[in-house]
Amino acid sequence: MASILIVDDDVGIRTLLKDSLESDGHEVFGFISAEEGLEHLNRYDPDLILLDLNLPGIQGFDFLQKINAEKRSIPVVIITSNNDVGSAVKAMKLGAYDYICKPFILDELSVIVQKVIDSKVKDEHIAFLRRRTQYSDTERIVGDSAPMQEVYKFIEHVANTSKTTVLIRGETGTGKELVAKAIHYQSDRANKPFIDINCSAFNENLLEAELFGYEPGAFTDAKRRKKGLLELAHQGTFFLDEIGDMAVGLQAKILKVIEKQSFRRLGGTQEIRVDTRIISATSRNLEECIKKKTFREDLYYRLNVAVVTLPPLRERNGDVLALADYFLTVYNHEFKKNIQGFSDDVKSLLTKYTWPGNVRELRNAIEKAVLFETSDKITINNFKIAGLDSSKNINFLISSSNFNLPLDGISLREIEKALIENALISTRGNQSKAAKLLKISRETFKYRMRKYGINYGQNQMKLFV
Ligand SMILES: Nc1ncnc2c1ncn2[C@@H]1O[C@H](COP(=O)(O)OP(=O)(O)OP(=O)(O)O)[C@@H](O)[C@H]1O
Ligand SMILES: [Mg+2]
């Protein structure tokens, strides 16, 4: 279905065109003058304009030029009389898409309208193919661990059932959006749009307007008609991200869309049919949300048809290093660097850390490290993980450094003495600073120095270092 705007002062022609196009299933708005047409252009955002050249007031040519000047890519088809084809040709030079001669055969009109719609679809298809190439280059799913094998099986299975509603669960950063895209691009909807919206990014009213669109006058700011995102996802996939954050009132409306496969724009009366597969994702515990009455039970059951829970990175043995290598390649490319790998202590840190922010956290850590690294390997100095200052986490330090308790034990006194000496070395013998490093008072520090017979003064330390 296309939405078509007709500008012609001849009421007979307007009615004829309107009836014929409406019976082909299009939405048609007729206007008597270029002024009226221009005034309503924004409101209706048409897919096609049928334009008579001889109009009262502003002429068709000027109308065409105004549209061109605004760089709106709405195709305009000229309606002309047989003895004025010259003007129509001139209009095409000005950017009109085609022309039809009066008196016209209605079938001819249908053919032209279909041609316009097809070429629009073709443009969208090209844009899609462009996006898809980007997708396959930068959005691979990496990891061969056993839990990921299950995820791949799931993707393959649901990709083949292109109507099934899908729910993707998992902690933050586990790749829910990536999996949603993979399902779309492996399904037979792949060359249709993948439209996504993050439910937590909008308040209830805005989200509703985005999802369903609106007619002019539906609310104070609704000056022009806006199509809903659901409409744009026709024949494609609609990804509702963070559905657990959607307001309860809207949840009821989304449930209706899933069940009826149709909806109305806000302020609209027309029922718009959409054929779209809904994939939703959440990192929330929906069962808890139901108990707290922030999530509707009926929607939960409707969504809970094909469900996958993405494993957190800490449970994906072996994947961390594969992902790290992958992101190293990605960011080497992006920052035009040629870093060859990771130093051993970084590798050890990568595998021992628990990654609460999952793959996203890993990705960010590697991005920063690649950016700042100046040697040909990622070194520990440039490998910082937000939320974990490894130097302060004793357990982590002990388990990830080369320090392992010897089988026959070790003297705690020796370790304490070594730490005090170490602190003195790193502060070049400045006892106050060394005490601070070990988080003890200067008096306690001095006491321990005496206790262990350490008596380097500042001068000696200078020699020592
Ligand atoms: N298996 C994977 N292979 C490669 N990249 C991945 C993988 N999993 C996640 N990523 C990357 O990690 C980042 C986070 O993934 P994504 O946005 O899909 O996670 P999410 O589960 O939707 O997170 P959130 O709940 O925070 O929205 C993205 O940059 C994504 O490309
Ligand atoms: Mg996400």
Write the pLDDT tens digit of every residue in 86-117. Answer: 887 888 888 888 888 877 777 888 888 888 87
Angle between helices 106-138 and 11-23 (to 10 degrees): 50
**400, 420, 441 — which closes off a domain?**
400
Res 392 pLDDT > 60: no
- Minimum mean pLDDT range among 41-50, 143-152, 154-163, 226-235: 41-50
* 41: confidence class by pLDDT, cuts 50, 70, 90: confident
Q: Is 75 in the pocket of ligand 1 (CB under 6 A)?
A: no
Q: Is the residue at 223 inside a domain? A: yes
* 403: confidence class by pLDDT, cuts 50, 70, 90: low
Res 70 pLDDT > 90: no
Q: Provide the pLDDT for residue 118.
A: 78
Residues 281 and 240 grouped into a single domain: yes
Residue 2 Cα, ligand 2 centroid: separation in angstroms?
33
Residues 166 and 288 grouped into a single domain: yes
Residue 421's CB is within 10 A of a number of other CB atoms, namely 16
Distance between first and last Cα of the chain: 80
Q: Is 172 in the pocket of ligand 1 (CB under 6 A)?
A: yes
Q: Whole domain around residue 44: which residue ranges?
A: 3-118
Give the ligand 1 atom nearest the CA of 310: 21
Q: Is 177 in the pocket of ligand 1 (CB under 6 A)?
A: yes
Res 283 pLDDT > 60: yes
Give the residue whose CA is nearest to atom 18 of ligand 1. Answer: 175
Q: Provide the pLDDT for residue 390.
A: 47
Which ligand is in closest contact with the Cα of 138? 1
Residue 170 Cα, ligand 2 centroid: separation in angstroms?
10
Q: Is the residue at 407 inside a domain? A: no
Q: Is the residue at 125 inside a domain? A: no
Q: Which residues, including other chains, have CB under 8 Å from residue 8's CB and lie 6 or more apart? A: 14, 17, 30, 32, 50, 51, 52, 55, 79
Rounded alpha-carbon distances, angstroms, from residue 16 to 104, 254, 270, 452: 10, 38, 22, 104
Residues 307 and 318 grouped into a single domain: no
pLDDT (mean) for 242-257: 94
pLDDT (mean) for 263-285: 92
Which ligand is in closest contact with the Cα of 172? 1
Which ligand is in closest contact with the Cα of 171? 1
Res 397 pLDDT > 60: no
pLDDT (mean) for 346-351: 89
Res 263 pLDDT > 90: yes
pLDDT, greater one: 140 or 196: 196
Residues 165 and 301 grouped into a single domain: yes
Give the residue whose CA is nearest to atom 25 of ligand 1. Answer: 172
Residues 96 and 151 grouped into a single domain: no
Mean of the per-residue pLDDT values of the chain: 85
pLDDT, greater one: 318 or 338: 338
Percent of the chain with pLDDT over 90: 43
Residue 241 Cα, ligand 2 centroid: separation in angstroms?
6
Percent of the chain with pLDDT over 70: 88
For residues 175 and 312, what is the distance between their CA atoms, to the nearest angstrom? 9
Give the residue whose CA is nearest to atom 13 of ligand 1. Answer: 360
Instruction: Look up the CATH number of the domain holding residue 186.
Output: 3.40.50.300
Q: Is the residue at 134 inside a domain? A: no
Q: Is the residue at 139 inside a domain? A: no
Nearest to 363 by CA among 329, 400, 338: 329
For residues 319 and 423, what is the distance between their CA atoms, to the nearest angstrom? 37
Residues 299 and 235 grouped into a single domain: yes
Which of 283, 314, 360, 363 maximizes ligand 1 atoms within 8 Å of its Cβ, making it the mutation to test the pocket? 360
Residue 24 Cα, ligand 2 centroid: separation in angstroms?
40
* 82: confidence class by pLDDT, cuts 50, 70, 90: low
Q: Provide the pLDDT for residue 137.
A: 45
Res 328 pLDDT > 50: yes
**354, 371, 400 — which closes off a domain?**
400
Res 265 pLDDT > 80: yes
Residues 277 and 306 grouped into a single domain: yes
Residue 272 Cα, ligand 2 centroid: separation in angstroms?
28
pLDDT (mean) for 145-162: 93
Res 323 pLDDT > 90: yes
Q: Is 9 in the pocket of ligand 1 (CB under 6 A)?
A: no
Give the residue whose CA is nearest to atom 5 of ligand 1. Answer: 141
pLDDT, greater one: 44 or 233: 233
Residue 373's CB is within 10 A of a number of other CB atoms, namely 20
Residue 115 Cα, ligand 1 centroid: separation in angstroms?
40
Q: Provide the pLDDT for residue 324.
A: 96
Nearest to 158 by CA among 185, 140, 183: 183
Q: Is 170 in the pocket of ligand 1 (CB under 6 A)?
A: yes
Q: Write the Ramachandran bin of 72: left for phi over 0, alpha for psi from -120 to 50, otherwise beta.
A: beta
Q: Which two tokens stand for residue 310?
A: 């993405």
Q: Is 213 in the pocket of ligand 1 (CB under 6 A)?
A: no
Q: Provide the pLDDT for residue 459.
A: 47
Measure the CA dihedral 154/155/156/157, to 10°: 50
For residues 135 and 50, what is the distance between their CA atoms, to the nearest angstrom? 38
Which ligand is in closest contact with the Cα of 177? 1
Q: Provide the pLDDT for residue 399.
A: 52
Residues 194 and 301 grouped into a single domain: yes
pLDDT (mean) for 208-232: 87
Res 401 pLDDT > 60: no
Q: Is the residue at 132 inside a domain? A: no
Number of domains within the chain: 4
- Residue 240's φ and ψ, nearest 5 degrees, are -95, 100
Instruction: Look up the CATH number of the domain holding residue 419.
Output: 1.10.10.60
Residues 259 and 233 grouped into a single domain: yes
Q: Is the residue at 318 inside a domain? A: yes
pLDDT, greater one: 114 or 461: 114
Instruction: Look up the CATH number of the domain holding residue 34.
Output: 3.40.50.2300
- Minimum mean pLDDT range among 212-216, 234-238, 349-353, 403-407: 403-407
Residues 189 and 300 grouped into a single domain: yes
For residues 77 and 100, what is the distance between their CA atoms, to the nearest angstrom? 7
Residues 153 and 299 grouped into a single domain: yes
Tokens 């443009």 belong to which residue? Answer: 123
**400, 420, 435 — which closes off a domain?**
400
Number of alpha carbons in the 13 Å side-chain half-sphere of residue 225: 18
**Dihedral sign of CA atoms 36, 37, 38, 42 in order:** positive
Q: Is the residue at 54 inside a domain? A: yes
Residues 331 and 345 grouped into a single domain: yes
Residue 178 Cα, ligand 2 centroid: separation in angstroms?
8
Which ligand is in closest contact with the Cα of 168? 1
